[in-house]
C-alpha cells in the first residue's frame, strides 16, 4: 500500500475507534481453543485457527467444523481481512456501490474498498460468491497488511505468477507469510482454502497490528552489579525463545553498592550496554551527586555514553548546561541513543511500541537536583499518551520511577492508572516492590498491567503479553526470575563476568579500606542463640543498635525535618564490629541487605502498638527477659520501658519522645514521623501498623542505603568513637 494510504488507514482506525468508543470499547474474545474444538483442524492449522477465533474473526462453519479444506469466497475473505485490520461492523463507511454483497458482509467490503485494499469485478459487482485464488489473495493481503511492495518487480521467481501479481506475491514471500507450492510454482490460480487464509492472516498478524511482546525489566539496582552475570543468562535465553523482546530499567542505577561509590555509574553502564537495555527512566537517586563540586557531570556522562535512550516526560534538564543538546522535550520516532526524550516510539521488529518515562516529583526533596526541574506526573502522562495516539501508536508503556503505591502526597503507579487512560503496561520502580506476578488493574475499558522487580538485581522481571490491533493487552504470564548471587539456581554468563571483572577488582580492594574511624570498644551486634539471657541485638539495646538508629534519624532529618524517631529491627543487624579500625567491609557485614531509608507518618497510638509488637517474643524462663526476635526494635529519638513478665500486647510501660535535651510522654493522638528501613516500613517482621501505613500511602521512600548512611554519620563523630548503651530500652521484668 502506498504511504498515503497507510497513513489514511491509521487515522481512519483511530478516529473510528474514538467515535465508537461506547459501543466497541472492549474487544473481549468470546471463544478460544478452550471453548471450541474443531474436528477438522490439524496441528498445522491449530495456532492460526485459534488466533482467528480468539480475536472474533470467525467462528467456523459449526461448533465442530472450521471448514479447513473448503475454498473461501471473496466475500468471506473480505470479512476475515476487515476484522484482521480492526474494522467493526457498526462503523460508518462509504458505500462501495456493489449490488451483490450480502448485508452481513457489506460493512467489510465497504471498508476495504474505501482504503484501497480490494476492488470489485466491475462498478456494480463485487463477485461475492467467486472463489479467491492465491494470486488474488496475495494482492489483497499485501495491501491490507501494509507490506513493503516493490513496484519495480515485474517478474516473480515463480513461473505461474504473471506480472500483474508478481510484486504482491514477492512481498508475501519476503514477509514469510507464504511460500510457493514448489520451488517454481506458487499455485497462482489455485483456490485458497479457509485453512490457508487462516495461516496467512496469522503469519501476517504483526502487520495487522497484533503483537506478542515479551518485556524483561529491572529497577532500583543501586550499583549491586554482582548479580548482572546471573541476569545475563535468562536475558539471553529469553531473547532466543521470544521474537519480540524489550529490556527496560525503571531507574535508580545510582547510589548504593561500592560499584557506584568507585565508578559513579561507569560500571553500571558497562553492564547495561553489554546486556543491551532498550531504555531507562531516571530514578530519584540518579540526582544524588548534584550537590557535589562536579554537579551532575557523572549523570551527564552516563546519559551520553548509553547505548539506549532515556525517557523523562516530567523532567526538564534545560537549565543545567551539562545536559545541553541531550534533551528533546517531545515524543520521537527517530531518536538517538544517549539522549533524553519525553517518550520514544520503539521499533520492535517493525512493530511500534510507545514508551514514555516518569520520575517521582518528590525528587527535589529527597535528592540533589540542582537546576533540574520536575513537573506533575499525571499532566505529563496524559500529554504523552495523547501524542502517541495522534501518531497512530496504540501500544503504550509507561516506564516509571514513582512507586507502586507510594505516598499520594507525591505520586504512584496505582493513581497513575486511575487518572490516565490509554496506558497498557507500567514497568515501575522506586518502592522496591516484589510483584511475584504482574498486577492487572481494570480501571478503564482496557486493562493496565503493572510490574516491578524488587531491588538490587535480585530478580529479572518478566512480562508476556499479546496486543490486539486496538492496542489492548492480554496477559499471558510473567513473574520474577531469581538472579541474586548465592541464591539463584543459574549459571553466570562468562562474557558478562569478564566485562565486570576489572570493576570488581577495585571494589574488593575498597572493602578492605578504612572508613577513617576507630572504634574504642566492640560495636555489639551479637546474638543469644541459645536463649541464655546474654546480650543480643534481638532482645536488648546495644551500642551498635543505637549507632545505627542515630545514623538513620540524622539522615531522615535532612529530608524531613519533622522526623523525630527512628527504629531498626534487630534482625537487620547481622554481626558485631570488633574494636579497632572500622573498614567498609566491616560495615557491609553488619548490614548486607542494602536496606533503604523510609519515613513513615504514624500516630502515637500506632507507635505504641508497634513497640508492643517489638517486645512480643516469648520469655526466657527464670526472669531473663525476652527470647530473641528479629522484630525487636532499636530506637533513636525516644526511650521506653516494658515488662517482659506481662501478657503480650500489654508489656509497654512508658514511652518518651526526645525534644532537644528533654523527653516528653508519647502522645497517642499526635502525628509523628518515624524513620526506619524499607523492610520494616513494608510490614516486615509482622509489623501491622507499618504495613497499614504503607498501604495507606503514609510511607515516603527517599532511599539512601543503610550502610552509606551509617558511614556518613559515624565520620561526623570524629576519628575515634566509644558508643555506649544509654538506657533507651529497659525491661523492668528482668530479675537477674
C-beta separation of 390 from 346 below 8 A: no
User: Rounded to an integer, what distance in angstroms lies between the CA atom of residue 655 and that of residue 157?
Assistant: 88
Strands of 166-234 (E only): list them.
211-218
Matching residue, cell 569478564: 498
Q: What is the DSSP letter of 288?
A: G
The answer to whether position 736 is within a domain reads no
Q: How far apart are CA 123 and CA 125, in angstroms?
A: 6
Alpha carbon distances (Å) from 456 to 79, 203, 575, 592, 681: 51, 39, 22, 12, 18
Residues 272 and 173 occupy one common structural domain: no
How large is the average pLDDT for residues 215-244? 97
For the chain, give the percent of residues with pLDDT over 90. 81
Of 151, 179, 208, the residue at which a domain comes to its end is: 208
C-alpha cell at 221: 539496582
Lowest mean pLDDT among 254-263, 349-358, 391-400: 254-263
CA–CA dist 671, 690 (Å, integer): 14
Which is nearest to 218 in space by CA: 455, 538, 497, 513? 455
Residue 697 confidence (pLDDT) above 60: yes
What is the structure's pLDDT at 570?
A: 94
| 373 burial level (CB within 10 Å; 0-12, 13-18, 19+) | middle
Among 174, 208, 242, where does a domain finish? 208
Residues making up the chain, counted from first to last: 736
Domain housing 335: 211-433+443-504
What pLDDT sits at residue 8? Answer: 45
pLDDT of residue 406: 80
Dihedral, CA atoms, 221, 223, 227, 229, nearest 10 degrees?
120
Same structural domain, 681 and 597: yes
Nearest to 633 by CA among 691, 574, 570: 570
HSE-up of 264 (CA within 13 Å, CB side)?
Answer: 15
DSSP H stretches of helix in 99-153 = 103-114, 134-144
pLDDT category at 36 given cuts 50, 70, 90 is low
Asked if residue 449 lies in contact with residue 440, where contact means CB atoms within 8 angstroms, the answer is: yes
pLDDT at 21: 33
Same domain, 415 and 495: yes
What are residue 553's phi and psi, to 5 degrees?
-65, -40
d(CA 256, CA 226): 13
In this structure, are 551 and 471 located in the same domain?
A: no
The C-alpha angle with vertex 580 and arms to 575 and 583, in degrees rounded to 5, equals: 65
- Hey, what's the cell of 258? 561500592
Handedness of CA 506, 511, 512, 513 (dihedral sign): positive
The lowest-confidence range among 224-228, 540-544, 658-662 is 658-662
Q: Which of 421, 319, 304 is nearest to 364 (CA)?
A: 319
Specify the pLDDT at position 104.
96
Confidence of residue 20 (pLDDT cuts 50, 70, 90): very low
Q: Is residue 438 part of a domain?
A: no
Give the list of residues 6+ apart from residue 508 with CB closer than 8 angstroms, or none. none
Question: In sequence order, what are the beta bridge partners of 476?
Answer: none
pLDDT higher than threshold 70 for residue 81? yes
Cell digits of residue 275: 546486556
Instruction: Count CB atoms within 10 A of the CB of residue 339.
Output: 19
**pLDDT (tens digit, 9 = 90+) per residue, 483-511?**
999 888 899 999 999 999 999 999 999 88
Instruction: Check whether 17 has a pLDDT greater than 90.
Output: no
Three-state DSSP class for residue 454: coil
- Stretch 113-142: mean pLDDT, rounded? 95
Only one residue has cell 499479546, namely 466
Looking at 281-376, list the stretches that DSSP marks H as alpha helix, in order from N- to C-terminal side. Answer: 297-304, 363-366
Taking the C-alpha atoms of residue 489 and residue 665, their distance in angstroms, rounded to an integer, is 51
Residue 320 falls inside a structural domain: yes
Do 340 and 478 fall within a single domain? yes
Position 529 confidence tier, pLDDT thresholds 50, 70, 90: low
Separation in Å, CA 145 to CA 54, 138, 194, 207, 485: 19, 10, 18, 5, 46
User: Please, what is the angle between helix 74-85 and helix 194-203, to 10°?
Assistant: 20
Start-to-end Cα distance in the chain: 90
pLDDT digits (tens, 9 = 90+) for 413-457: 999 999 999 999 999 999 888 999 999 999 998 999 999 999 999
Other beta carbons less than 10 A from residue 484's beta carbon? 17
Indicate which CATH number applies to the domain containing 387. Answer: 3.60.21.10
Handedness of CA 674, 680, 685, 686 (dihedral sign): positive
Q: How confident is the model at residue 469 (pLDDT cuts 50, 70, 90)?
A: very high
Q: Quick one: cell of 516?
A: 577513617
Give the integer Cα–Cα distance in Å for 658 and 583: 32
The torsion angles phi and psi of 446, rounded to 5 degrees, stand at -110, 145
pTM: 0.77
Residues 310 and 379 in one domain: yes
Is 107 a member of any domain? yes
Cβ contacts of 561 within 8 Å, gap of 6 or more: none
- Same domain, residue pair 623 and 639: yes
DSSP per residue, 530-587: T-SS---TTTS--HHHHHHHHHHHHHHHHH-TTEEEEEEEGGG----B-SEEEEHHHH
Determine the 3-state secondary structure of 413 from DSSP: helix
The CATH number of whichever domain residue 631 belongs to comes to 3.90.780.10
Specify if 77 maps to a domain: yes
Q: Is the pLDDT of residue 657 over 50?
A: yes
At residue 57, φ and ψ (nearest 5 deg) are: -85, -25
**Same domain? 382 vs 453:** yes
**For residue 31, is pLDDT > 80?**
no
My answer on whether 242 and 378 are in the same domain is: yes
Domain match, 592 and 647 both: yes
Q: Are the beta carbons of 588 and 711 closer than 8 angstroms?
A: no
Residue tagged 520503539 (cell numbers):
346
Spatial distance between the Cα atoms of 588 and 507, rounded to a whole number of angstroms: 12
Q: Which three cell numbers stand for residue 242?
A: 521470544
For residue 595, give Cα distances in angstroms to 437, 658, 701, 707. Answer: 23, 25, 11, 8
Residue 161 inside a domain? The answer is yes
Question: For residues 164 and 138, is the Cβ–Cβ distance under 8 A?
Answer: no
Q: Is residue 533 part of a domain?
A: yes
Share the mean pLDDT of the chain: 92
Residue 109, classed as helix, strand or coil, is helix
Output b/e per residue, 603-614; b: 16+ Cβ within 10 A. bbebbbbbbbbb
Residue 381 dihedral angles phi and psi, to the nearest 5°: -65, -45
| Lowest mean pLDDT across 235-244, 286-295, 434-443 | 286-295
Closest among 248, 282, 244 to 265, alpha carbons compared: 282
Cα–Cα distance measured from residue 706 to residue 592, given in angstroms and rounded to the nearest whole number: 9
- Binned at pLDDT 50, 70 and 90, residue 13 comes out as low
Residues 112 and 225 reside in one and the same domain: no
Contacts for 34 with CB less than 8 Å, ≥ 6 apart? none
Q: Across residues 652-664, what is the average pLDDT?
A: 96
What is the count of structural domains for the chain?
3
pLDDT at 459 over 80: yes
* Cα separation values, 325 from 299, 336, 380, 384, Å: 14, 12, 21, 21
- Does residue 59 lie within any of the structural domains? yes
Question: What is the per-residue DSSP string for 609-657?
Answer: HHHHHHT-SPBPTTT--BPP-TTPEEEESEEEEE-TTSPTTS-EEEEEE
Examine the domain organization and report whether 143 and 229 are in the same domain: no
Which of 460, 484, 504 is the last residue in one of the domains? Answer: 504
Amino acid at each position: 500500500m502506498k504511504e498515503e494510504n497507510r497513513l489514511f488507514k491509521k487515522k481512519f482506525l483511530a478516529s473510528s475507534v474514538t467515535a465508537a468508543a461506547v459501543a466497541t470499547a472492549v474487544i473481549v474474545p468470546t471463544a478460544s481453543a478452550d471453548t471450541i474444538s474443531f474436528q477438522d483442524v490439524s496441528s498445522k492449522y491449530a495456532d492460526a485457527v485459534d488466533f482467528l477465533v480468539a480475536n472474533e474473526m470467525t467462528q467456523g462453519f459449526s461448533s465442530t467444523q472450521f471448514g479447513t479444506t473448503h475454498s473461501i469466497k471473496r466475500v468471506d475473505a473480505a470479512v476475515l481481512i476487515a476484522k484482521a485490520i480492526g474494522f467493526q461492523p457498526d462503523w460508518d463507511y462509504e458505500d462501495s456501490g456493489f449490488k451483490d454483497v450480502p448485508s452481513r458482509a457489506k460493512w467489510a467490503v465497504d471498508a476495504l474498498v474505501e482504503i484501497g485494499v480490494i476492488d470489485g469485478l466491475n462498478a456494480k459487482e463485487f463477485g461475492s460468491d467467486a472463489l479467491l485464488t492465491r494470486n488474488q489473495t496475495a494482492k489483497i493481503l499485501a495491501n491490507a497488511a501494509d507490506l513493503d511492495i516493490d513496484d519495480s518487480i515485474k517478474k516473480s521467481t515463480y513461473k505461474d505468477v504473471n506480472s500483474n501479481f508478481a510484486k504482491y506475491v514477492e512481498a508475501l514471500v519476503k514477509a514469510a507469510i507464504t511460500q510457493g507450492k514448489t520451488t517454481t510454482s506458487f499455485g497462482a490460480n489455485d483456490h485458497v482454502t479457509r485453512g490457508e487464509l487462516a495461516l496467512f492472516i496469522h503469519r501476517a498478524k504483526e502487520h495487522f497490528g497484533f503483537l506478542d511482546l515479551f518485556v524483561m525489566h529491572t529497577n532500583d539496582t543501586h550499583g549491586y552489579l554482582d548479580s548482572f552475570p546471573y541476569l545475563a543468562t535468562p536475558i539471553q535465553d529469553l531473547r532466543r525463545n521470544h521474537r519480540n523482546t524489550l529490556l527496560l530499567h525503571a531507574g535508580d542505577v545510582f547510589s548504593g553498592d561500592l560499584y557506584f561509590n568507585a565508578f559513579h555509574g561507569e560500571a553500571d553502564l558497562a553492564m547495561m550496554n553489554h546486556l543491551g537495555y532498550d531504555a531507562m527512566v531516571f530514578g530519584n537517586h540518579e540526582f544524588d551527586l548534584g550537590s557535589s563540586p562536579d554537579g551532575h557531570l557523572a549523570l551527564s556522562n552516563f546519559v551520553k555514553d548509553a547505548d539506549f535512550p532515556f525517557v523523562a516526560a516530567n523532567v526538564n534538564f534545560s537549565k543545567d548546561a551539562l545536559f545541553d543538546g541531550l534533551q528533546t522535550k517531545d515524543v520521537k520516532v527517530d531518536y538517538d541513543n544517549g539522549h533524553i526524550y519525553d517518550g520514544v516510539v520503539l521499533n520492535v521488529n517493525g512493530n511500534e511500541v510507545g514508551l514514555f518515562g516518569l520520575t517521582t516529583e518528590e525528587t527535589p526533596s529527597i535528592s540533589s537536583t540542582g537546576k533540574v526541574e520536575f513537573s506533575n506526573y499525571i499532566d505529563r502522562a496524559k500529554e504523552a499518551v495523547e501524542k502517541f495516539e495522534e501518531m497512530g501508536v496504540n501500544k503504550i508503556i509507561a516506564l516509571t520511577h514513582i512507586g507502586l503505591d507510594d505516598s499520594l502526597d507525591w505520586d504512584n503507579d496505582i493513581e497513575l492508572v486511575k487518572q490516565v487512560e490509554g496506558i497498557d503496561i507500567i514497568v515501575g520502580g522506586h518502592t522496591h516492590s516484589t510483584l511475584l506476578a504482574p498486577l492487572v488493574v481494570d480501571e478503564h475499558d482496557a486493562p493496565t498491567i503493572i510490574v516491578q522487580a524488587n531491588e538490587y538485581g535480585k530478580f529479572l522481571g518478566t512480562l508476556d503479553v499479546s496486543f490486539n490491533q486496538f492496542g489492548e493487552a492480554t496477559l499471558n504470564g510473567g513473574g520474577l526470575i531469581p538472579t541474586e548471587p548465592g541464591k539463584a539456581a543459574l549459571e553466570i554468563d562468562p562474557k558478562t563476568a569478564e566485562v565486570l571483572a576489572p570493576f570488581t577488582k577495585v571494589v574488593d580492594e575498597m572493602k578492605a579500606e578504612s572508613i577513617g574511624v576507630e572504634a574504642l570498644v566492640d560495636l555489639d551486634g551479637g546474638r543469644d542463640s541459645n536463649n541464655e539471657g546474654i546480650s543480643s541485638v534481638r532482645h536488648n539495646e546495644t551500642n551498635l543498635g543505637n549507632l545505627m538508629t542515630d545514623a538513620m534519624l540524622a539522615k531522615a532529618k535532612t529530608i524531613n525535618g519533622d522526623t523525630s524517631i527512628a527504629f531498626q529491627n534487630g534482625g537487620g543487624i547481622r554481626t558485631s564490629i570488633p574494636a579497632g579500625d572500622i573498614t567498609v567491609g566491616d560495615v557491609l557485614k553488619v548490614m548486607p541487605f542494602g536496606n533503604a531509608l523510609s519515613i513513615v507518618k504514624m500516630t502515637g497510638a500506632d507507635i505504641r502498638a508497634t513497640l508492643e509488637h517489638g517486645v512480643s517474643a516469648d520469655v526466657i524462663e527464670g526472669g531473663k527477659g525476652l527470647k530473641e526476635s528479629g522484630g525487636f526494635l532499636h530506637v533513636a529519638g525516644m526511650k521506653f520501658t516494658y515488662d517482659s513478665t506481662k501478657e503480650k500486647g500489654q508489656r509497654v510501660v512508658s514511652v518518651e519522645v526526645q525534644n532537644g535535651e528533654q523527653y516528653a510522654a508519647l502522645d497517642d493522638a499526635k502525628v509523628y514521623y518515624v524513620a526506619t528501613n524499607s523492610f520494616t516500613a513494608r510490614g516486615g517482621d509482622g509489623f501491622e501498623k507499618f504495613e497499614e501505613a504503607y498501604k495507606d500511602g503514609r510511607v515516603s521512600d527517599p532511599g539512601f542505603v543503610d550502610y552509606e548512611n551509617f558511614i556518613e554519620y559515624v565520620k561526623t563523630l570524629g576519628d575515634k568513637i566509644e558508643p555506649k548503651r544509654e538506657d533507651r530500652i529497659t525491661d523492668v521484668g528482668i530479675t537477674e
